[in-house]
Structure 1
Amino acid sequence: MQDEVSEKATLSIESIESVTPGIPGAAEGMAVCVVRCIEGTARLGMTFCHLSPAGGASIAIPQLTLSAIEWYGKQVEQLDTVHAGKVTLSGRGVDTLAKRDVLDSAPGISTR
């Protein structure tokens, strides 16, 4: 297994296919998005965060976990730079995601 602690990946959201908001204080939400990997290699289990504009200021959205990657109709474990794929992200704040948002991995944290 590669050292996921030092890996970094950046995803750009091309479109959002579906969002299932979580229940406050209980279940996390889930979003299915088409993304392009613009830096590094995104792997299953990596966590991502992004900044969301809030009334002119930016606020950090809680971490989102990459729980599925589909590439050309097949489930894969990673998405390399310049490739696009359909991903499933889970966590609080998925309902704040928007087209063209950039998600940066949170190095050192992996659920896998």
Structure 2
Amino acid sequence: MPNIALELGKQSASFGVHSAYGEQQDVDGIRIIPVALTWSGFGGGSDESGNGGGGGGGYAVPLGAYVRRGDDLRFEPNVVSFLAVAIPFAWVCGRALSRVIRALKK
């Protein structure tokens, strides 16, 4: 029986933006190249009798896309993803700052 963890590791080498969002697209002379933050994790094992198992998972966050129009290339961010990250980050920073200020007042 093949080692499941090794097989999953070989397959995960091809994960990334391409597997999450596909190839670049050409639409009416405009080239769109997706950009994403992806990560994955896998594990596996077996017992002494040779019974094994494994599993894994992954996640992808669309950051935006590079858009090329003729000679112009620029990055256009995904505003929804930015807000989904920025709002909790701002809350945590504000809470930490308020605790630091409170500790310095004592």
Task: Report the TM range for the smaller structure's normalisation.
Answer: under 0.3
Q: Normalising by the residue count of structure 2, what TM-score does the alignment of the two structures yield?
A: 0.23
The structure, 1 or 2, with the larger RCO (C-alpha pairs under 8 Å, 6+ apart) is: 1
More strand, by proportion? 1
Computing the radius of gyration from Cα coordinates, the structure with the larger value is 2
More helix, by proportion? 2
